[in-house]
Amino acid sequence: MTLRNWEDVRGDTVLDADVVIIGTGPGGAAAGRVLAEAGARVVMLEEGPARPMFRPNLAHTQRYHMQESGTMVARGRQFVPVAAGRGVGGGSLVNSAICFRTPPSVLEGWKPVLGGDDRFAPARLAPVFDEIEALIGVGVTRDEVAGENNRILVRGAAALGLPGGLIRRNAPGCVGCGICNYGCPSGGKASVDRNLIPMAIAAGAIVQGDVKVDQIHHAGGAVAAVSGLVSHTETGELRGRLTVRAPRVVLAAGGIGTPRLLHHAGLSARLGPAVGRGLHLHPGSALLGECDHPVTMWRGATQGAWFEHPDLPGVLPHTFNAPPDTLVLLLGNVGLAAKADLQRLPNLCGCVVMISDHGEGRVGSTSDGRADISYAFDPHDVDRIKAGMVETARVLLAGGARRVTAPVHEIGWHDSPESLGKGLANKAITDFALYASHPMATCRMGADPATSVIGPTGEAHGLRGLFLADSSIFPTSLGVNPQLTTMVLATAIARELASH
């Protein structure tokens, strides 16, 4: 295998390739597999460590497998933490393995933006979804590893006649340990470092970890090379500069990393005003329920169940797992009240209410290359989060919880959805503890260079040979967890690139 880390670079190093890919998450891995198997000389570059460095510890995970050590925050009326993975495998290393297909209505809505181009129509992408799902082992979460936290949501949705159930995930060997977000310790999650990347390597691709790309070179209106600094995984000691010369560059650094790099590399003016604009985040808040029976919500398949309400399109509640220390923080108490909370932790269940947002933000770059993120909430989105929390309370109560609460300022406990709704009615967005882990749509695909960065083929409007293949290219908010869509679009873009 040609999987390189910092030890493989000594001083300034130059490689030649047909295609260089920046980022090895779902998009980069999918593109790398297609292009390498088509016979191209492929070099894949990754900022994070070449091999997983998993430990069931949040600080450790943030240091090694989260962009900017997990400290990225979108500024606005309310600060929103933004999560994005790093390492060979990218976000698939530390996500919950959820694999929703893109809603057909979303794909159909993209066609006018693409100038009538229908290459991403549901019928045309269906075989690619089938292909990727088979490669990464997508299947419905098995009941024997689901855990009680997920079963509560499944029971509640069924009792109320709502669509939902156990989620489709790329975790065929899941043992239900509940710590996907720290990296899978059993190997049961089929993150892309276990399938698409090894397939690319088997076809001849070189994968280089520990390199932070900071330059994209071009000449005569076309890309020519990329380069970045290679550093020791642990100490950060500089090992040298790696340059890869290639006539085609696939940028797949994610919804934050891609626009950040384009700004930092000085390409935003060439590529147009849409670079970094239109950020969507799928923001949301959590809901906790207390049961009369043990739940132990830190055990069982991570985020293994979901439901939807027909009156709330674009609102997607699904379960979440959290260790005891995180639950104490979510409950928000101190002193004797926090001590009392410790007694109820085993009986708590939890759900996150995620929305397909109408609000938008921007991504830029600071002088030292860090992401500069801002986000403005649409007032209607705040109402949708509240409505989703009320319906989620109804489902949890129907599934076995006896009362619910949320990480909302002075919300208290409620034994009915109506009571919770009254408590939320006058809350502003600044009262909520929010979270977002699906940055997207920051370098949108479209026919108009004034409002998009790339065309339907994935190639940049303003620079020949530069292709984008990650969640940044979505023309709109997706409404579902994005990793499967990212792999499918990247596969389609890479196939077209390989055919020319």
| Domain 3-67+91-97+100-137+184-275+443-498 shares a fold with domain 140-169+281-431 | no
Closest CA to 377 of 363, 393, 358, 395: 358
Q: What is the pLDDT of residue 346?
A: 96
Phi, psi at 268, each rounded to 5°: -65, -35
Q: What is the CATH number of domain 3-67+91-97+100-137+184-275+443-498?
A: 3.50.50.60
Class in CATH terms, 140-169+281-431: alpha beta
Closest CA to 18 of 9, 31, 1: 31
List, in order, residues 6 or more apart from 272 with CB less than 8 Å away. Answer: 449, 450, 452, 453, 461, 462
In this predicted structure, the answer to whether residue 1 has a pLDDT above a threshold of 80 is no
Q: What is the pLDDT of residue 340?
A: 86
State the Cα–Cα distance between residues 133 and 13, nearest whole angstrom: 37
Q: What is the pLDDT of residue 323?
A: 87
Query: Domain-by-domain residue ranges, the chain?
Result: 3-67+91-97+100-137+184-275+443-498, 140-169+281-431
Mean of all residue pLDDT scores within the chain: 96
State the Cα–Cα distance between residues 7 and 314, nearest whole angstrom: 46
- Choose the weakest-confidence range: 55-64, 156-165, 210-219, 245-254: 55-64
Its pTM surpasses 0.95 = yes
| Residue pLDDT, tens place only, 306-331 | 999 999 999 999 999 988 888 888 88
| Pair of tokens at residue 309 | 């309400």
User: How much is the average pLDDT of 448-472?
Assistant: 97
Angle between helices 379-399 and 417-424 (to 10 degrees): 160
Q: What is the pLDDT of residue 2?
A: 87
| Residue pLDDT, tens place only, 141-198 | 999 999 999 999 999 999 999 999 999 999 999 999 999 999 999 999 999 999 999 9
